[in-house]
Structure 1
Amino acid sequence: MELDRDEERILAGERGETRQKMLELLVALGKVFGAERLVPIKSAQVSGASYKTIGEYGLQWLSSLDAKAVVPAVLNPIGMPRGRWQEMGVDPDFAQKQQAVVAAYERLGIGIECTCTPYYLRETDFGDHLAWSESSAVSYANSVIGARTNREGGPGALAAALVGKTPCYGLHLEQNRKPQLVIDVKADTKNWSIADYGALGYHAGKLAGNRIPYITGIRPDKDQLKGLGAAMAATGAVALYHVAGITPEAVKRPFDLTGLDTIAVESAEIRKLFKEIPVDAVAVGCPHCSPAELEEIARLLIGKVVSMPFYIFASQGVIDNNLRTVDAIEKSGARVFADTCMVVSPVMEQYEAIMVNSGKALAYVPDMCAAVARIGTIEECVRVGTE
C-alpha cells in the first residue's frame, strides 16, 4: 500500500502506540483485500458494543487502548438501555459490565448514542466514504444514500475512527458497485408493509448471497428500503443493492444488465414466511424505528392496553425528538427503549416465541435469543400484543 507522509508518521509510532497499532491493522486489511491506499472517511459506526457479544476479553482489549476518534463515530446497539436498564429487567452484574464497555468507548471519543441507524443522527451524503460495521446500516448507507462503505468488523471500524481513514477497496470503488444479478419481483406490492419488504429481503438475501442484486417490480419508501436491505444483509451478505428507478445509483447510473442471471420471486414465496404461531412477547425496531414508524405504532395503540411484553427500540436521538409520540405509546404499557435491541439484549432470551415486523429479526432471533420468531405487520403486532 502507498502511504502518505502523515500515515507513515503514525505507522512509525509518532502519534502514539494505539494509533500505530490501529494503522497496522488497517494496512494489514488493505493488503489482504488489495487496497492501494487509504481513503479519508466522514464517519464511523463501531460494532462489538454489547457485553453479550464481546465479553470480558473484549472489554480488556478496549481498556488497553489510548487514543481519541478523529471523525464523528457512534456505537452499535448495546445489551441494555443505559438509562432504563432496571426497568427492562437487566441483571445488575451484566449492567455493570455493559457500563464499563460504554465507558471504554466513550474514553476513546466514540459517541455513545448506541444505534444501528446512525443515518438518523448525522447527515450522510451520496459518495461519502464511511467505515460502518452493522450490516443493516451498511446496507442503508450504500444502497439508499449512495455512500460508500464496506461492512467493517468492530476492530476495523474502531481503527478507522481513531485514524480517520479506511482501506480503499471493495465498495469504496465505483467499479465494484455494479449489479451482479437481477431479482424480478412478480407480485402486487402496492399495499406492502415494512414487514412484507422484510420478508422479501429475508428470501432475496438467500438468493443473492454476497452478490449485488438489482431488484425490479417494487416501489418501496425509505423505511421499506431499510427493512428490505436489513433482511438481505441478515440472510445473505448483501451490503449493497439497487432498486430500479428508486435507489440513487440505479437512477444516476444506467447499469448494463446484459448477461446477468435473473431470478423471479413470486408472492407465494413471500407469504409462506407469515406463519401464525403463539408468542409471549412482541418486539419492534430491528433496525431501530424511524419517527414515522413510531407515529404509526402510537396511532395503532391509542386506547389499547398491551397484554404481553411489548418492546419498541429506537435511537435516543429519535426518542428525544418525538417525546409526545413515545409518551402516547407508553400509555398502552408498551415500552420504547433506546441503545439496545432484541438481538443483543440478554433480556430477550427469557421468551420462547417473539413476534417481530422485521425480516432481519426473523433471521436473527432464533440464533441470538434462542426463541422462535414470527413476522407480521405493525398492525398484526399490535393486534397480537393487545389481545
Structure 2
Amino acid sequence: ALTGKTPEYGFHLDENRKPKVLVEVEAELKGPEEFGALGKIAGEFLEGRVPLIRGIKKADTEDLKSLSASIVTYGGAPLFHIEGITPEEMEAPEEKIKVSRSDIDKAIRDLNDEIDDVDFIFLGCPHCSVEELEKISKLLKGKKVKKELWIGVARPVKKEADEKGISKIIEESGAKFACDTCHVVAPLKGRFKSIATNSAKGVFYGRGKNDFKTFFGSLEKCIEMAVK
C-alpha cells in the first residue's frame, strides 16, 4: 500500500494460475445451493489445487459466490477457472474428475442431518447482496418469523437496502440483520441446537464450530422454515 507494488509471487505469476485438475460437470446446476454442493465435491478432491471447471452453461453472481465460498472451505482451492465464464482461457489438464447429477444429490444429502425441525436460520454466508435481500423481503412480506432468522450483510449493502425500503419489510417480519459478521465467527455454541441455511460453507462451520445439526436447502425453503 505504501509503495504501490506487490511481490512477484503466487497467483500474480501466470504459471501458478494454470489448472491442475479438470472438473467435468455433467449435471445442470440450479441455484446457489447446487453450486455450493459442487464446491464441496470439487474442494474435497482438489486439496488446494487449481481446477478448470467445464460443463457449466450459465451462472449468475450468487451462484459463483456460493461456489467460491464452498470450494475453498472444503478443500482450500484458492482459484478456479470456469470454461466460457471466467475471463482467462486455459488448456485442460490431464487429470480429471466427473461430477454427475447423482454426485450433486449425494453432496446435498451429506450436507443435511436427520432433523425434524430447526431453531435457527441463517442466510448470507457469504453476505447477501441487495438482490438477495430484495428476494428475501418479497418472501417475508406480510409474514412473521416463528424462529430466529438472521441475515448476514455488509453495512454498505444494508444502507442501500434501507434506502430502498427493503430492510423495513424484512425487519417487520421479525428477522434480524447481522451486519459485518456471520454465524461462522459469532459465539453461538450452546445457544441453538440446529441451523437451516442455503450455504454449504455455513454447514461446514455450523457443524465444526457450533455442533449444530444442519438443514441445507434453497433460500425459499429456509424462509419457509422460518415462518412456519
Please name the residue that 1:173 is paired with. 13
Distance 1:165 1:367, change over 3 A: farther
Please name the residue that 2:139 is paired with. 300
Q: How does 1:125-136 map to 2 (within 5 A)?
A: none
1:215 aligns with 2:49: no
Q: Which has the larger radius of gyration?
A: 1
**Structure 1 segments of 4+ aligned residues over 6 angstroms from their partners:** none
CA deviation map 1:210-263 (0-9, x unaligned)? 1111111212111110100110000001110011100121xxx3x221x52121
Please name the residue that 2:28 is paired with. 188
Alpha-carbon separation, structure 1, partners of 2:63 and 2:195:
21
Please name the residue that 1:283 is paired with. 122
Percent identity of paired positions between Structure 1 and Structure 2: 37
Alpha-carbon separation, structure 1, partners of 2:212 and 2:153:
22
1:288/1:315 contact within 8 Å kept: yes
Which is bigger in relative contact order (C-alpha 8 A, separation at least 6)? 2
Alpha-carbon separation, structure 2, partners of 1:329 and 1:202:
30
TM-score relative to the length of structure 1: 0.54
CA deviation map 1:59-78 (0-9, x unaligned)? xxxxxxxxxxx5xxxxxxxx
What letter corresponds to residue 231 of structure 1 in structure 2?
S
What letter corresponds to residue 264 of structure 1 in structure 2?
K
| Corresponding residue to 1:380 among 208, 221, 226 | 221
CA deviation map 1:75-112 (0-9, x unaligned)? xxxxxxxxxxxxxxxxxxxxxxxxxxxxxxxxxxxxxx
Please name the residue that 2:100 is paired with. 266
Shift of 1:167: 3.2
| Corresponding residue to 1:228 among 38, 62, 67 | 67
What letter corresponds to residue 215 of structure 1 in structure 2?
I
CA deviation map 1:144-175 (0-9, x unaligned)? xxxxxxxxxxxxxxxxxxx7654321111111
Task: Give unpaired runs (5+ residues) of structure 1.
Answer: 1-40, 42-69, 71-162
Q: How does 1:26-65 map to 2 (within 5 A)?
A: none
What SS class does the counterpart of residue 306 from structure 1 fall into? Answer: coil
What SS class does the counterpart of residue 240 from structure 1 fall into? Answer: coil
1:256 aligns with 2:97: no
1:361/1:373 contact within 8 Å kept: no
What letter corresponds to residue 197 of structure 1 in structure 2?
F
2:40/2:70 contact within 8 Å kept: yes
CA-based RMSD of the aligned residues comes to: 1.7
1:368 aligns with 2:213: no
What SS class does the counterpart of residue 180 from structure 2 fall into? Answer: coil
TM-score relative to the length of structure 2: 0.90
Shift of 1:366: 1.1
What letter corresponds to residue 178 of structure 1 in structure 2?
K
2:189/2:209 contact within 8 Å kept: no
1:342/1:348 contact within 8 Å kept: no
1:333 aligns with 2:174: yes
1:202/1:363 contact within 8 Å kept: no
Alpha-carbon separation, structure 2, partners of 1:303 and 1:266:
40
